[in-house]
């Protein structure tokens, strides 16, 4: 799911990571919006708000939206920087630090977010955007940009293109590959939706503690991947 990168990945690997991370992204998206009334998984809308506030000469609000964009960028930068550093030692573990940092952020906000919410909603938004930037960079890097999980605009664009191609791709192999890609898009959208539904329901009951569910999901993903990796390495030793 996490370990194999680029051309070494199969459709199954991409489906696994897509379902896990899109679920977390959906949960964070709805929880963040309900908590601070801001988009916390992508920055597309924040660019529009930034331009509007600059046009209306509102320096404080302009700075806030600029920070939202900057924190998403910082998360992406930090995630890939960690991947580059770790890959030079052992490429099997490139996913651990970015995923663990994201999990730690969600856990911290889940525990202490209610204390920050009254006076520091922008800090919560910035921190969630950092986490989602880190997640997006991780999954984009290891899947060779096949999987993206934190926003749906590009996904629906790609899905529309690929559905239209079904009318023109006639040979069996091409249609088979196209169908795999369409299934992947649908999995991402579905799990994002499921995560959003669960996040919305949970937030009405337990507030920002909902983010702990996202943190636990990521930790379980790390544990699952480590067990698989150790078993595979053990099998190699036995064969030798």
Among residues 168, 134, 164, the alpha carbon closest in space to that of 149 is found at 134
Q: Is residue 180 in some structural domain?
A: yes
Q: How far apart are CA 210 and CA 207, in angstroms?
A: 6
Give the CA count within 13 Å in the CB-facing half-sphere of 183.
Answer: 11
Q: Is residue 187 in some structural domain?
A: yes
Task: Say if CB 138 and CB 79 are below 8 A apart.
Answer: yes
Task: Say if CB 33 and CB 40 are below 8 A apart.
Answer: yes
Q: Residues 198-213: what's their mean pLDDT?
A: 97
Among residues 14, 17, 64, the alpha carbon closest in space to that of 39 is found at 64
Among residues 222, 186, 223, 217, the alpha carbon closest in space to that of 199 is found at 217
Q: How far apart are CA 239 and CA 106, in angstroms?
A: 41
pLDDT band for 227, please (50, 70, 90 cuts). Answer: confident
Over the stretch 4-36, which tens digit does the pLDDT of each residue have?
Answer: 555 566 677 778 888 999 999 999 999 999 999
pLDDT, residue 240, reads: 66
Q: Is residue 1 in some structural domain?
A: no
Domain total in the chain: 1
Over the stretch 78-94, which tens digit does the pLDDT of each residue have?
Answer: 999 998 888 888 776 77
Q: Is residue 108 in some structural domain?
A: yes
Over the stretch 158-186, which tens digit does the pLDDT of each residue have?
Answer: 899 999 999 888 788 888 889 988 998 99
Residue 53's domain spans which residues?
6-239
CATH code at position 32: 1.20.1250
Q: Is residue 202 in some structural domain?
A: yes
């Amino acid at each position: 799911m996490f370990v194999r990168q680029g051309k070494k990945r199969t459709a199954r690997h991409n489906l696994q990571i897509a379902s896990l991370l899109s679920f977390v992204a959906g949960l964070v998206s709805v929880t963040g919006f309900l908590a601070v009334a801001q988009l916390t998984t992508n920055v597309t809308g924040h660019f529009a708000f930034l331009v509007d506030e600059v046009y209306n000469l509102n320096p404080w609000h302009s700075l806030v939206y600029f920070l939202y964009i900057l924190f998403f960028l910082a998360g992406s930068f930090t995630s890939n920087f960690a991947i580059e550093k770790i890959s030079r030692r052992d490429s099997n573990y490139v996913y651990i630090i970015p995923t663990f940092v994201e999990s730690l952020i969600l856990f911290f906000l889940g525990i202490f977010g209610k204390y920050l919410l009254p006076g520091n909603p922008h800090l919560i938004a910035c921190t969630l955007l950092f986490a989602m930037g880190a997640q997006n960079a991780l999954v984009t890097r290891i899947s060779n940009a096949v999987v993206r999980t934190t926003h749906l605009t590009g996904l629906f664009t790609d899905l529309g293109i690929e559905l239209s191609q079904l009318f023109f791709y006639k040979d069996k192999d091409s249609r088979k590959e196209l169908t795999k890609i369409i299934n992947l898009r649908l999995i991402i959208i579905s799990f994002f939706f499921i995560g959003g539904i669960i996040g919305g329901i949970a937030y009405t009951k337990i507030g920002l503690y909902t983010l702990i569910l996202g943190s636990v999901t990521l930790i379980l993903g790390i544990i699952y991947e480590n067990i698989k990796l150790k078993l595979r390495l053990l099998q190699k030793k036995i064969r030798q």
